[in-house]
Structures are given as C-alpha cells and as structure tokens.
C-alpha cells in the first residue's frame, strides 16, 4: 500500500514510525513531515492545510490511504474533499469534526444527550458574559468556541481573571474569529486522563488509557501547553472505571453524533477529568493526541495499518490487536519560550548516541535538517519515549535518554508520570 500521513508533529512521527514497520506498506509519504519523519518516510513539501495541493499529490501518486494528523485540516473538511475524489482517508468528515471545531457545539451536544461534563453557559455578548461570571463568584474556565491551537481554554482562579479572559477573547479577539463565542464553564477538580478509541461509526475499539501533562511547569503549574509528556497505561484507571467511561461517555457520544446526522469515523479522543462525582468530559478531539500517541504506539503490538484501514472501510469488528503490558512514557523537550514565542534554528546534539537503543525512541516534532545538522524548528521539539516494566522504570529510562540530548534553551518537565510512580511505588 501507498500511504500518506499529513502533519509534522511528534504524533505524526510516531504514526510514521509504526506504519513504516507494516508488512503491507509499499511506500510512505508525509506532508510536510520533519527531520525525524524523513528517516522513515519521504517528506513532501506541502503544508497540512493546503488541501487542494494534498489532493493533487494523493491523486498523482495513487495513494491508497491518507492519515490526517492535525485537527485544522479535519475541521476544514479535508476528509470530505479526499473522499469526493475516491481517496480513502482516515479521519472524521467536516460535520463530524465540529466536535472539536466548536466547543459550543460539543457542550450543547453533551447537554442534550446527557453526557457528563462541566456545567456551562455560552455567550457572544461580553456584557452578559460578565454578569454570569460575576454571579459565579469563584474559579471557572473560559473557552474560545473555535480552534485556537490548544490555547483557547483559560483556567481562571478568580472572578477578576475570568473577566479579563472573557474580555481578551470576546473584545480583543485574542484568538481571532475562534473567539466570536465563549463557553463559561464550571471549574472541575480531579486528575486528567486521555481516552482514545477507534470507531467506524458503529464498532468502537477503545485504546489503553493515557495521561498527558498539559501545564508547562512541574506540579501542573503555569500556562497550558499542547502537552509536555504522557504515559500509558494509567494505574488510577481500573477496569471498572474504564467500563464506566465507555458506558457513560464513549458509546453515548458516538450514538449522539449518529443521531445528529454526523456519523463519526476515525479516532475519538476524550479529554476527561476524574472528579469526585465521576468522569466528566473536558474536551473532545477528533484526532490522535499529541503526545499521547507516542507512548500508545510504542505499546501497540502488531500492525497499525489494518486498524486504520478497517476504520475507513467500516470493518472494525474484524480486526484484533494486542498491547505490550509494559508502560511507555514520553517526555517532551521544548524550545525556550514555548508556548509563547520561541526560538528556532538551534542545533540538536546527541541524537545519534540514542539510535538503535532498545525500547527508547526519540520522536521528532519541531525539527528540520539543514546541511547535515538537525535543528529546532518548533515549540515542542522532541518526544523522548521509553518502555519499562512499570511507570517508574519507563520514567527512569526516558529521563536517562534525555541526558544524552542537548540544544540551547531546551526545556522539559522533570515530573512526567510522577503521580503514577507515587501510586505504584508507595506502599
Ligand atoms: P480544553 O481546551 O477544553 O481541553 O482545556 C485545556 C485544559 O484546560 C484541560 O486539559 C484542563 O487541564 C483545563 N480545563 C479545561 N476545562 C476545565 C474545567 N472545566 N475545569 C478544570 N480544568 C479545565
Ligand atoms: N495532548 C493533547 C492533545 O492532543 O490535544
């Protein structure tokens, strides 16, 4: 098969790394890719949002399957466009991708179909939003309706912070037109987890649970990022809790989308808060998580291609797969300044020394190769991922591997997986 992956992050590198191992693969392309992806695929110089140019490429190269990584082209309708040309494409259609593309849509859907989530109200009028925020009198979360590159949700400890956030989104248009409406949401307390599932619209194949670390600094402090590290499995998710998540959230969401005339195919990502009142949805994503995909695919045994293909062909009930029982843990190395303005073009050293190491993979995100050197080229730069017998071992190995890598201004959290380590190693 000829496969095209769209995107250039750590998620896409892990997809490329896994698909490259498939016995069914004839040729792998990635648009636009990065320096790491270039080791396993042919990178094509077309941006992930240039839908027409991507179509032309896929037609010309007779691509058998296209896998879309990021949310932007999905929300813009890349799958509809590819399908209209007879091209098989992994991901939801534009109407289904609204689940991530509009928080107002997602929240309204959950309310209508009884899917547990934080209490909320939506506003396009600043004055009315201010009145509601003041009436709450405490912490809340202000969310821009549309896509904002993972920065659109602002967790506010005080009414003053929330009023300011509403002002910046609705009045100053901090996120442009994505901020034409806002959701004002109840603040939820608990541990966050990411649950992903393949679905072809009727069959649902849940994946092993993951935990991301959204905040920039250790101890979950500081601003939110795209994710600073992740691991899988998650010891706090028991079989019973997972079954509850499937029953109360995953299945009802797929059914709700069907009922709304927006049948959902692809990966459904549930961002959940495990509250004292049970699991509640923080957000839906309509794609693989980043960095969650890196540890997940390190643990997935066997071939990923049949799973992707069966999802597109609505035959998911026919495929079986297994997990490596070990833990995989990914630590993100980022550029100085991320998630705000960051530096680029710094030489990355030490990558060679980790090549061929068993059970350690350095997934590239914002990297590029120039004159034989690998340079930083994005906010999140690398995802150093390791397998270990338990989360403690995986953590130890990932951080040991990081010691070998350096670039000017490199920043990473030192506590990825710490909560789980405490759980499995404290008597
Ligand atoms: P979202 O864009 O909705 O996924 O939100 C980004 C991050 O903000 C989440 O991963 C949480 O860490 C935090 N967050 C979002 N909604 C809430 C909420 N209702 N209560 C507490 N934290 C939240
Ligand atoms: N790691 C969070 C996300 O993929 O949105």
Across the chain, mean pLDDT equals 97
Confidence check: pLDDT of 146 > 70:
yes
Q: Of all atoms in ligand 1, which is nearest to the CA of residue 285?
A: 4
Query: How confident is residue 350, by pLDDT bands cut at 50, 70 and 90?
Result: very high
Tell me the CA–centroid distance for residue 281 and ligand 1, in Å. 9
Measure the CA–CA gap between 76 and 59, rounded to whole angstroms.
19
SS3 187: coil
* Tens-digit pLDDT profile for residues 152-178: 999 999 999 999 999 999 999 999 999
* Tens-digit pLDDT profile for residues 17-72: 999 999 999 999 999 999 999 999 999 999 999 999 999 999 999 999 999 999 99
Confidence check: pLDDT of 427 > 80:
no
Q: Of all atoms in ligand 2, which is nearest to the CA of residue 230?
A: 1
pTM to 2 decimal places: 0.97
Question: What average pLDDT score do residues 188-204 get?
Answer: 96
Confidence check: pLDDT of 206 > 90:
yes
**Residue 193: Cβ within 10 Å count:** 24
Q: Of all atoms in ligand 2, which is nearest to the CA of residue 292?
A: 1
**Residue 215: Cβ within 10 Å count:** 18
SS3 letters for 291-358? CCHHHHHHHEECCCHHHHHHHHCCCHHHCCCEECCCEEEEEEEECCCCCCCCCCCCECECHHHHCCCC
Tell me the CA–centroid distance for residue 186 and ligand 1, in Å. 10
Pocket of ligand 2 (CB under 6 A): 150, 212, 226-227, 285, 289-290, 292
Query: How confident is residue 393, by pLDDT bands cut at 50, 70 and 90?
Result: very high
Question: What average pLDDT score do residues 6-16 get?
Answer: 98
Domains and CATH numbers, the chain: 2-95 (3.40.50.20), 119-186 (3.30.1490.20), 191-425 (3.30.470.20)
Confidence check: pLDDT of 284 > 70:
yes
Confidence check: pLDDT of 150 > 90:
no
β 89-90/65-68 pair status? parallel
* Tens-digit pLDDT profile for residues 60-70: 999 999 999 99
Residue nearest to atom 15 of ligand 1 (CA): 282
Measure the CA–CA gap between 294 and 386, rounded to whole angstroms.
10
Question: What average pLDDT score do residues 264-269 get?
Answer: 98
């Amino acid at each position: 098969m000829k496969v095209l992956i769209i995107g250039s992050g750590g998620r896409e590198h892990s997809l490329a790394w896994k698909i490259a191992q498939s016995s069914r693969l004839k040729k792998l392309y990635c648009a636009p890719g990065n320096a790491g992806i270039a080791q396993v695929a042919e990178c094509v110089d077309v941006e992930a949002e240039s839908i027409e140019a991507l179509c032309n490429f896929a037609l010309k190269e007779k691509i058998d399957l296209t896998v879309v990584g990021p949310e932007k082209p999905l929300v813009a309708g890349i799958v509809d466009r590819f399908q209209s040309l007879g091209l098989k494409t992994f991901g939801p259609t534009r109407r289904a991708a609204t689940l991530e593309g509009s928080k107002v849509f997602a929240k309204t859907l959950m309310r209508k179909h009884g899917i547990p989530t934080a209490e909320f109200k939506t506003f396009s009028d600043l004055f009315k939003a201010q009145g509601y925020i003041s009436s709450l009198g405490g912490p809340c979360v202000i969310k821009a309706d549309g896509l904002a590159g993972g920065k659109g949700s602002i967790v506010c400890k005080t009414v003053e912070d929330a009023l300011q956030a509403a002002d910046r989104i609705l009045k100053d248009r901090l996120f442009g037109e994505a901020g034409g409406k806002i959701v004002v949401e109840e603040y939820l307390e608990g541990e966050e987890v990411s649950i992903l599932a393949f679905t072809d619209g009727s069959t649902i194949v849940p994946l092993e649970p993951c935990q991301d670390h959204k905040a920039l600094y250790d101890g979950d402090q500081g601003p939110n990022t795209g994710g600073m590290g992740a691991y899988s499995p998650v010891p706090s998710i028991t079989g019973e809790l997972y079954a509850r998540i499937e029953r109360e959230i995953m299945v009802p969401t797929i059914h709700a989308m069907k009922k709304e005339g927006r049948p959902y195919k692809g990966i459904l990502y549930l961002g959940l808060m495990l509250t004292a009142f049970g699991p509640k949805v923080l957000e839906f994503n309509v794609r693989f998580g980043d960095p969650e995909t890196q540890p997940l695919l390190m643990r997935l045994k066997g071939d990923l291609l049949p799973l992707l293909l069966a999802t597109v062909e609505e035959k998911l009930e026919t495929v079986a797969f297994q997990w490596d029982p070990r833990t995989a843990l990914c630590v993100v190395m980022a550029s100085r300044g991320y998630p705000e303005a960051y530096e680029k073009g710094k030489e990355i050293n030490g990558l060679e020394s980790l090549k061929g190491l068993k059970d350690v993979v350095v997934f590239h995100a914002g990297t590029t190769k120039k004159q034989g050197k690998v340079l930083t080229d994005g906010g999140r730069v690398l995802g150093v991922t390791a397998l270990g017998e338990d989360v403690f071992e995986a953590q130890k190995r990932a951080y040991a591997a990081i010691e070998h890598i350096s670039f000017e201004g490199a920043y990473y959290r030192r506590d990825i997986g710490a909560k789980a380590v405490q759980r499995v190693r404290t008597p």
